[in-house]
Structure 1
Amino acid sequence: MQVSVLASGSKGNAVYVEMDGCRLLLDAGISATRIKKALLAQGVDAASLDGVLITHEHRDHIAGLVTLSKWYHLPIFSRRATFENMSCRAQLPPECICPVESGFKLAGLSVTPFSTSHDAADPVGYRIQGSQCMALATDLGFVTANVQAAIEGADTLVLEANHDPEVLKNGSYPWPLKRRILSNRGHLANSDAAWAIARMKRRPQKVFLAHLSEENNRPDLARDTVQAILERQGIRQEIIMTSQTEAVSG
């Protein structure tokens, strides 16, 4: 299994997953040109993707979707309400739109969308199962029991560590935006990400900490916070930090 976080953060998100010969893109929140170049740098032709999985309709997850679909006519999978609320819905080729409400098979892999708590129409994370298991859970205000169950047993986990609450509260954001981020339908704090990992019965081989806020977090702060909590629980875990500007593989 290969997992590459092409970009992660409030300016755009995209994750490439290759498993058992199946190639998937999770979210397309950066330009199609950047996605194409990032994949080519890893020896992957974007035209060879088996599908694009969209978590929700916010721009930082779909910004490159229209151009990507017009270039390659890839099948796009997401919840029906997500498609209906996309600002670019009318520009997507109808034959590319594949609404899904439950688990499905794609090129030999089992793909299971699971609901997340975020201020979008019907947001999801994804669990992808083949010879190994990968799970993505970003853009969630808190880790519900449903999310905790969905990430359990993942060999590779892409998990949000968006902010440090104190940095956020003392930062320059207006209070309504701070309140949104801190809410149960906002974004996940570093410590909450750590406890989600700690609660897993079988720990992942690798954890990517994703969707870090440039304003309300720092890579070293996110890593140190998560590792400190895990170490106090006697847990040693490989942590990989993602980037808004550079692809990170693991």
Structure 2
Amino acid sequence: MKLTVLASGSKANCYVLQNENTALIIEAGVPMSQVYECIGYNIKKVVACLVSHEHKDHCKYVGQYLDAGIDVFASSGTIEAIDIAGFRKMKPLIGKKVVVMKEWSIMPFDVEHDCNDPFGFLIYHNECGNLLFATDTYYLKYRFDDLNHILIECNYQDEVLKESVEKGLLHPVVRRRTLQSHMSLRTCIKTLAENKLSNVVNIVLLHLSSLNSDEDHMKTKIGLNTGKRVFIAKKGLVIDINKDF
């Protein structure tokens, strides 16, 4: 099983988990043409697309995915907020209720963001094991056991965010919104420490701010605090996400 990052950040987000026979898409923030290329134009192997919330960098191209015949899932609140017109509709998920999609199992859970009913996802496939996906949330109130891979937001560093305001690069209102909707490096470290990491193979840091983060510093700090292999989610990143390596 491989993870391919098609986009991650404030402009667009899309991630593909796939092997030769199956694919699961997370977020619909890039055009369907990029997804086609990623999956080798084999649309039949796509079981679903999961959308975490209503903000455009995560859902802008939902209509294209639906038109391609992909089942797109999200919370009822997200579906209401996106309000896609057309014959094919998004499908609702219920928080903490496991849904089986062929060989995949997905459990959505609520996260903390400034929108209508946002979700993170606990995803299971026999090949990759348990994968945690949590983006655009300033805090995770749930704890997870037996994780194999973690994809988690690490948006900003407190000191860099403060400095951006002091230099006039960022409006104080935007800083307040960031504090109430995105995960800091400090909170990311604390969150990882509160989860059982003994079986974790990869940690992938998502949705880094281009202005308020230093990716090398973040990668180093997370690595030192967890002892795990750490990646920064950037367009073009492809990594193995098998259970054991």
TM beyond 0.5: yes
Tell me the residue number matched to 1:221. Answer: 217
Closer/same/farther in 2, CA of residues 125 and 181 from structure 1, 3 Å limit: same
Q: Give the secondary structure class of the aligned counterpart of 2:39.
A: helix
Asked if 1:210 corresponds to 2:206, the answer is yes
Shift, 1:20, TM fit: 9.8
Tell me the residue number matched to 1:5. Answer: 5
Shift, 1:46, TM fit: 3.7
CA distance in structure 1 between the aligned counterparts of 2:134 and 2:86, rounded to whole angstroms: 25
Tell me the residue number matched to 2:236. Answer: 246
Closer/same/farther in 2, CA of residues 166 and 100 from structure 1, 3 Å limit: same
Kindly report structure 1 stretches of 4+ aligned residues shifted beyond 6 Å. Answer: none
Tell me the residue number matched to 1:125. Answer: 120
Identity of aligned residues (%): 23
Asked if 1:198 corresponds to 2:193, the answer is yes
Tell me the residue number matched to 1:26. Answer: 26
Shift, 1:92, TM fit: 4.7
Tell me the residue number matched to 2:243. Answer: none
Tell me the residue number matched to 2:78. Answer: 82
Shift, 1:11, TM fit: 0.8
Q: Matched residue pairs, number?
A: 231
Per-residue CA deviation, residues 35-81 of structure 1 (Å, 9 max, x unaligned), is: 222333xxx624431111111010010122212221x1111111111
CA distance in structure 1 between the aligned counterparts of 2:37 and 2:22, rounded to whole angstroms: 19
Shift, 1:205, TM fit: 0.6
Q: Give the secondary structure class of the aligned counterpart of 2:178.
A: helix
- Given that residues 78 and 116 in structure 2 are in contact (C-alpha distance below 8 angstroms), is that contact kept between their aligned partners in structure 1? yes
Per-residue CA deviation, residues 127-153 of structure 1 (Å, 9 max, x unaligned), is: 112321111011101121x2x23xx32
Letter aligned with residue 109 of structure 1: W
CA distance in structure 1 between the aligned counterparts of 2:173 and 2:19, rounded to whole angstroms: 41
Tell me the residue number matched to 1:57. Answer: 54
Asked if 1:156 corresponds to 2:158, the answer is no
CA distance in structure 2 between the aligned counterparts of 1:128 and 1:92, rounded to whole angstroms: 29
CA distance in structure 1 between the aligned counterparts of 2:60 and 2:183, rounded to whole angstroms: 22
CA distance in structure 2 between the aligned counterparts of 1:155 and 1:92, rounded to whole angstroms: 38
CA distance in structure 2 between the aligned counterparts of 1:93 and 1:191, rounded to whole angstroms: 44
Shift, 1:97, TM fit: 1.9
Instruction: Please give the TM-score of this superposition, normalised by the length of structure 1.
Output: 0.85
Matches within 5 A, 1:230-245: 230=225, 235-243=226-234, 245=235
- Given that residues 63 and 84 in structure 2 are in contact (C-alpha distance below 8 angstroms), is that contact kept between their aligned partners in structure 1? no
Closer/same/farther in 2, CA of residues 98 and 110 from structure 1, 3 Å limit: same
CA distance in structure 1 between the aligned counterparts of 2:86 and 2:228, rounded to whole angstroms: 41
Gaps of 5+ in 2: 241-245
Shift, 1:4, TM fit: 2.0
Letter aligned with residue 93 of structure 2: V
Letter aligned with residue 177 of structure 2: R
CA distance in structure 2 between the aligned counterparts of 1:198 and 1:216, rounded to whole angstroms: 23
Gaps of 5+ in 1: none
Shift, 1:19, TM fit: 6.7
Asked if 1:17 corresponds to 2:17, the answer is yes
Instruction: Please give the TM-score of this superposition, normalised by the length of structure 2.
Output: 0.87
- Given that residues 219 and 230 in structure 2 are in contact (C-alpha distance below 8 angstroms), is that contact kept between their aligned partners in structure 1? yes
> Over the residues paired in the alignment, what is the CA RMSD in angstroms?
1.9
Matches within 5 A, 1:93-108: 93-94=87-88, 96-101=89-94, 102-108=97-103
CA distance in structure 2 between the aligned counterparts of 1:104 and 1:154, rounded to whole angstroms: 18
